[in-house]
Structure 1
């Protein structure tokens, strides 16, 4: 396999700039159309509900595309999938700009939704291609570009509409797409970290149906009615499809989303916190612009135009960029967990302040800026936590799932804001406008979501300390900073008779004890590992019910497939005796302490039995003599190691029949 260090490399700053530019383009795509929805309603003669499809179409496409594109990026190349997304995004912009009607406009917006996958894929490229000491700060900057793009998108869209018409917005998007495409092809190298394998088409279809139904119900619940038949049917469809998707993903060889990895405590808790942080982040943007545009006569509004309101939000976007180096420094110094906790806490404090300080324009801008600072810190920490706890060959798909869950949080936030602002109103000028209490209610909800994130993050385990390197110990090949030599090697975990062991775990470490990568084998026992270079590594393989095995392996630069055999099962074994004599043919049955049957066998000619080791817990082990029906039972506690338990039959035989 060719080493990536042999490739022509661009300066680190250039790679960071291009990837961060993609994040800015994504946020611009998502926000520039939002302030123009009332104008599109007038131009096309449509209702507000119909015009909202310009936002809903992008939301649905991004939700479906993000996990699929991210998985394909892990399998076949991250830069390749970035190019595909940029091409689709650019095509969508051209379709929207040239289409003669509302339907092409919606279709173009749907294609623009593919741009959302650029963020998790771009973050994964940063992990693969940048020096280790630059990754955290680069990820922080890319996360911050979401804020600056969102802040600029609101006034920029309104200004372009007023000066040159709505088509200009999409022509600008097309030009930005072409510029970004050229920059990616010129600056970004294709990562050598490719897992390969088979794409999970059934899983992609099931997850796409579930996500479409869920987000459509959330986004349209306010206009269709939360208790309406279509919304309820969509929620039921989501539950039914997910109920089929979960067990399918646990059994399939190479699932679209590895639920076992996603269920690991650090990953699961980070993803739960991401939903809450996404909820709090989006509430800040939605509430601030609406409050700034309310009539000044209400006492809590400021009567700004949509463009002026967008300009007033620029400080909060700039704050995200300015604090991105702080976020990277916090991660480098303290790690992802304390940084995510701190960011969530700052967001909570900002929202509590917004409840009580709403009497001036500067108070609103300052409150929004404080929340944005917390968002910048939190958003920078989440990819760090995800990538630190998933296999290197799954970083894009894991980041894609995290981005998807943040999107679910933002969609839920949008729905909650719409419900509260439309139901808690006051009369002003003959119309109903959102009351101050409505804004305060959402501020409290966002503060609670931020505090909920803090509570979840508290239970994320801290990573173990890495032992210091031993002088003179064998080291893998070292390459200059910024020139990653990562090579993907493949292997399989087998039984002694060459049968695959599904879902076994292979862990690779340097011979000094420093962790390198780990991988969970698919249903065929196959796994992939990303190594920093050729050399000797410690490889440990384990699987439920099997005695683990380890050995030092020398990996070369050429394609390497390592076959690891687990030859011994973990077992519960022993002898069945009567008066010190072994009993061949005796029945041995194992049942759970709660009564459920677990397994049974018969002793061999020497009176020996062996059962697969059950999961940890309390059990009842029973022996029955074949001829006399003498019995004996005893309690046993199963752990993580094989156990030997002998059974001595005593007493009177039970009457037969």
Structure 2
């Protein structure tokens, strides 16, 4: 295993207090997570404002999904090699530039390009985990990783809550102006206060591997996200799936035989890593699909369909506010829970609660209070699982690979979300009414699929082996005269 590069000297002879660093990191994660979800509820508004059609406006979401899936692990890996602090600034500036371009976009084409630029900001999450592991005292790492990971789900929930009021009070342009301001402030604070990375992995960036990985991710996610509109049996959809089947194993082979892999296949085969990634895939199917379809269910006019509550975008967001708060509060407590019960137990509990919440929605959805209670249970599950997934990955890999390992885990969760949304869309819309609205049974069947995926996630989580990689905490180290760090050494499983 490669030894880490020489530690750079801290700015001004001293390192920033880790609590200041944590505030800056949370601001960056919050900005990215808000942009993930705020646009979804107002796509019809954007469609009308930019004089486009539904098929085209969906690319506002698809471009962001594709770009984030490609850049999340790449930016994380580059951060492992050249420095996490500088790549964090790059990722935040990309978010800001994309937000500025989106706010002033005169056409849907420009908006789609802006969303693709914003996707570069996906690297914020793995960089955040890497910086926490580098800078925080060992006993603070689990809580900080858990809270920052939960912020991704919290931001997604708040995005649904805030989208309606922002559009009604201002305009949809402010869905981009506000995150741009937040992101610029976070980028400036990151440059000023986040210490330079003390852990580096030497070697070149493998461009061929990056291109191969980008190709299979784009072909897979494009086929999955657009298959329902293009037709699952259409030549372009089938062709994309065939390309994925060809390029994915080619990428794995190239990485396994590279002297400077982008993603170390030996690391990906660590039992803890691949089982946690499988849980992330299954869990992502449920969480991201819930974000998309529960608001849609709440907004369905009950007087026409016999179900739903005819809620506005703002009202449906407020109905889901307890879920967001539950995720946030659990995220704050995740470190203590992991310290007492272990991250594996927390993950099992989170996936189980998610399955229970989904089952509740399938069985009881006739009253608003039922949906609020069930979505709150989901929020608890999301907060627990997000925190545990991230902590298990961070603990299982060498410090020099934290960024790329966390990036791949986040990416696999995103792939799961795309797969889940595609499956749910097909199930929910099967046998739709003449006016295009789904029948109630469509939602029940769709949410039943998510019950199964969440239960499978809980089952796989039971078999996750927990191995912690011992690392030297830079918060306790003398960094004035740095020396190369020794290779991390695995310690016994808990």
- Provide the TM-score with structure 2 as the length reference: 0.92
Equivalent position of 1:125 in the other structure: 131
Equivalent of 1:325 in 332, 348, 372: 332
Equivalent of 1:305 in 281, 287, 312: 312
Counterpart Cα distance in 1 of 2:457 and 2:468: 23
For residues 348-389 of structure 1, the C-alpha deviation after alignment (integer angstroms, 9 at most, x for no partner) is: 111112211112101101111101111110110112111222
SS in structure 2 of the partner of residue 323 of structure 1 = helix
Equivalent position of 1:224 in the other structure: 230
Task: Indicate the larger mover: 155-164 or 373-382.
Answer: 155-164
Counterpart Cα distance in 2 of 1:441 and 1:483: 58
Equivalent position of 1:577 in the other structure: none
Aligned partners of 1:193 and 1:487 also within 8 Å: no
Equivalent of 2:275 in 269, 276, 281: 269
Equivalent of 1:286 in 273, 284, 292: 292
Equivalent position of 1:411 in the other structure: 418
Equivalent position of 1:94 in the other structure: 100
Equivalent position of 1:206 in the other structure: 212
Equivalent position of 2:261 in the other structure: 255
Equivalent position of 1:435 in the other structure: 439
For residues 481-537 of structure 1, the C-alpha deviation after alignment (integer angstroms, 9 at most, x for no partner) is: 59789967379xxxxxxxxxxxxxx6648xxxx68xxxxxxxxxxxxxxxxxxxxxx
- Provide the TM-score with structure 1 as the length reference: 0.70
Task: Indicate the larger mover: 334-343 or 57-66.
Answer: 334-343
1:146-157 to 2 correspondence within 5 Å? 146-157=152-163
Determine whether 1:489 maps to 2:484: yes
Determine whether 1:339 maps to 2:343: no
Counterpart Cα distance in 2 of 1:452 and 1:486: 49
Equivalent position of 1:457 in the other structure: 461
Equivalent position of 2:3 in the other structure: none
Determine whether 1:374 maps to 2:378: no
Equivalent of 1:197 in 203, 212, 218: 203
Counterpart Cα distance in 2 of 1:135 and 1:325: 13
Q: Hey, which of these two has a bigger chunk of helix by percent?
A: 2
Q: Which has the larger radius of gyration?
A: 1
Gaps of at least 5 residues in structure 1 are 467-475, 492-505, 516-657
For residues 405-462 of structure 1, the C-alpha deviation after alignment (integer angstroms, 9 at most, x for no partner) is: 00001111221222122114346xxx24222222221222111111111221222224
Determine whether 1:353 maps to 2:350: no
For residues 249-301 of structure 1, the C-alpha deviation after alignment (integer angstroms, 9 at most, x for no partner) is: 11110111111110111111110110011111112222220111011223331
SS in structure 2 of the partner of residue 181 of structure 1 = helix
For residues 225-272 of structure 1, the C-alpha deviation after alignment (integer angstroms, 9 at most, x for no partner) is: 111110000001111111211111111101111111101111111101
Report the aligned-residue RMSD: 2.5
Equivalent of 1:12 in 9, 14, 18: 18
Counterpart Cα distance in 2 of 1:137 and 1:465: 17
* 1:223 to partner: Cα distance: 0.6
* 1:464 to partner: Cα distance: 8.3
* 1:333 to partner: Cα distance: 1.6
Cα 1:447–1:69 shift into 2, 3 Å: same
Q: Hey, which of these two has a bigger chunk of strand by percent?
A: 1
Counterpart Cα distance in 2 of 1:339 and 1:34: 30
* 1:199 to partner: Cα distance: 0.7
* 1:87 to partner: Cα distance: 1.1
Cα 1:364–1:284 shift into 2, 3 Å: same
Equivalent position of 1:41 in the other structure: 47
Between the two structures, name the one with larger relative contact order (CA 8 Å, sep ≥ 6): 2
Counterpart Cα distance in 1 of 2:335 and 2:35: 26
SS in structure 1 of the partner of residue 202 of structure 2 = coil
Aligned partners of 2:7 and 2:479 also within 8 Å: no
The ranges of structure 1 where at least 4 consecutive aligned residues each deviate by more than 4 angstroms after the TM superposition are: 1-7, 476-488, 506-509
Equivalent position of 1:183 in the other structure: 189
Equivalent position of 1:494 in the other structure: none
Equivalent of 1:242 in 238, 241, 248: 248
Counterpart Cα distance in 2 of 1:479 and 1:123: 14
Determine whether 1:21 maps to 2:66: no
Cα 1:296–1:80 shift into 2, 3 Å: same
